[in-house]
Amino acid sequence: MFTVQSPALVTDGVRREVLVPQAAVRFPEMAEIDQAIRERRLVVAPLREDEQEAAGEIARGIPGLGLGERESMAVAASRGLPFVLHDRRASRIGRAMGQEVVGPLDLLFERTVDDGLLEHRLRAFARLVDMRIEALEVLLERVKERSRW
């Protein structure tokens, strides 16, 4: 179980990575992210000096992470917050560093009450990330198991 802070924070690096004007047509959900920032449901948090240094250290120590991920890890570590990461490689690294990382599957299972809706969301997610059908079946089995609970 994890605690969700409201409003959620994003770093400027994340904002720059995800809000790419040219990609708006291909990825219409960008408009929702933009909207969330304008409505302050998502707040762009500037990095403090110590967090910038920490992000730099992460970059040197772990070359496999993008800018937004490095910044988020630094902020999450210094402020003691869980952070949401889509990328599974980055998630593994974050967890290996002892941080509380919340992935999309964690979010879907933990925060979708209705089993039918959860199944629908899992199928949509599977399409989005090119999940193997066998992997999706494993997840749908978990939904059935949950509904028997």
Partner 1 sequence: MVTMERPQVNIRLERELLQELDEMAEAESLDRAELARRLLREGLKRERVRHALGRYREGEVSAARAAEVARISLYEMLDRIHETGIPYELDAGDLQRIDAMINGGRPHAAVGEGRARYDAGQRAGAAPPSDVDSGIEQLRAQFRPKPVRWLFVGESSPSGGTHFYRANSNLFRATQEAFVAALGSDVPSGPAFLHFFRDRGCWLVDLASEPVKRLAKEARGAAVGAVRNRLARLIGETDPERIIVVKVSIASDVGAASRVAGFKGEILELPFPVRQWKSEYVRRLEDAVRREAVGP
Contacting residues toward partner 1, per CB under 8 A:
1, 4, 17-18, 20, 22-23, 26-27, 63-69, 87-90, 92-93, 95, 103, 105-117, 126, 129-132, 135, 138-139, 142, 145-146, 149
At 43 the three-state DSSP class reads: strand
**Contact yes or no for 91/101 (Cβ under 8 A):** yes
Q: How far is the CB of 134 from partner 1 (least distance, A)?
A: 9
Helix (H) / strand (E) element for 102: namely strand 101-102
Q: How far is the CB of 9 from partner 1 (least distance, A)?
A: 17
Q: How far is the CB of 23 from partner 1 (least distance, A)?
A: 4
Tokens of 37: 């920032």
Tokens of 143: 């939904």
